[in-house]
Amino acid sequence: MRLPPLLFGVYPTLVDLGSGFGYYGDELRKHAGYLVGLDLFLPSLNVAKDRRVFDDLVCADILNLPFLMDKVDCVTLFDVIEHLRKPSGRELLSSFPSSVFISTPNSEFSNAQYARLMGNVREHHVSKWNISDLENLGFRASARDPPLWMRLLGNKGIVVAHKEESIPS
């Protein structure tokens, strides 16, 4: 989507799940004392490493996290949950004891060709999430419209959602 993520506050430890190439790293850096990027696709993490914005990068599956989530203050999943089947996504989103910020496309579309081009089988979209899906999990959710030029290409914007455990400084 490449719309700036909805995020506010400053968190001592922020983990960006599905960080990919690190496109959102500069924006996340403004909100994190310690910033970790996590992705399963090593070529993406190598690009993120060159951006030099993350304090640590971890190659792991978000459905089998390699650290204690109760030690994390904030989790972000920008353009990620549509890559998970709904039951796995619901379980993951319900498991975080920390503040969580999400974005996901506001329309159903396949990016299978992009996934093949990138050589990343997990890049394709397997679910669509809407505002009520996320509100049913306790998130505050809304839709954001894309810039005009993106709407002309058929982009319907993104659904953004957040759940905060405590108000950050």
pLDDT tens-digit series, residues 46-81: 999 999 999 999 999 999 999 888 899 999 999 899
Number of domains in the chain: 1
State the DSSP string of 135-161.
Answer: HTTT-EEEEEPPPHHHHHTT---EEEE
Nearest by Cα to 18 from 97, 89, 99: 89
Within-domain flag for 6: no
**Residue-range definition of the domain harbouring residue 56:** 11-163
Place of tokens 């505002």: 131
Q: What is the reported pLDDT for 159?
A: 83
- pLDDT (tens digit per residue) in 108-159: 665 655 555 666 566 667 788 999 999 999 999 988 776 665 555 555 667 8
CATH assignment at residue 150: 3.40.50.150
- pLDDT (tens digit per residue) in 25-34: 999 999 999 9
Spatial neighbors of 163 by CB under 8 A, at least 6 apart, are 96, 99, 100, 137, 138, 139, 140
